[in-house]
Amino acid sequence: MKFTLPTILALAGLAAATPLEIRTLTTSHGTILAPSPSSLVSPSTTFPFNYSQSNWCHDGYSQVQVFLTDYAVTAANVNAGTGVVAPVVHAFGTFTAANFGLPPLSSALPSSLTLPDLAPKGVTTGATLYVTVVERAANCPPGGVPAQFGFTSVPVAYA
């Protein structure tokens, strides 16, 4: 088969115009320091929460979402465009971690989370649940990089 210069240029232009898949889930993430693995959590009470975020993109503020699931979260459960985990037993909310000594915002990471009564959702005593944190990196250098999401989980026991 013989390719002419116009054919080669046309194929090159087609290849350049084909969008590449944008990978927005990453293996970078922080560490859940509390609760510790297998901690007991009880309905309608608070439990300690401490997340040491990674800030792999060196953002001034890092967005962190916290979820509770009844399964170990994998990349298939995290929406690559929003960082939302689905399905969930409970969403604790979206918080903001300040970096580089910046002042905390009103949505700062809490030091504890309140566990609602999960019996109406079919969760029974002794069930293993997972506190999952999704960290968002929004401004990765050199610029124009789409948001990236890293996630981590810790199992807890529903008492």
The string of pLDDT tens digits covering residues 84-103 is 999 999 999 999 988 888 99
The string of pLDDT tens digits covering residues 100-121 is 889 999 999 999 999 999 999 9
Q: What pLDDT, on the 0 to 100 scale, is given for residue 21?
A: 34
Q: 4 versus 113: which is more confidently predicted?
A: 113
Domains and CATH numbers, the chain: 23-158 (2.60.40)
- Yes or no: say if 150 and 24 are a contact pair by the CB < 8 Å rule: no
The string of pLDDT tens digits covering residues 14-43 is 444 434 334 477 777 889 999 999 999 999
- Grade residue 57 by pLDDT with cuts at 50, 70 and 90: confident
Tell me which residue has tokens 């609602």: 116
The 3-state DSSP class for residue 13 equals helix
Rounded Cα distance, 147 and 152, in Å: 17
- Secondary structure string (H, E, C) spanning 52-104: ECCCCCCCCEEEEEEEEECCCCCHHHECCCCCCECCCCEEEEEEEEECCCCCC
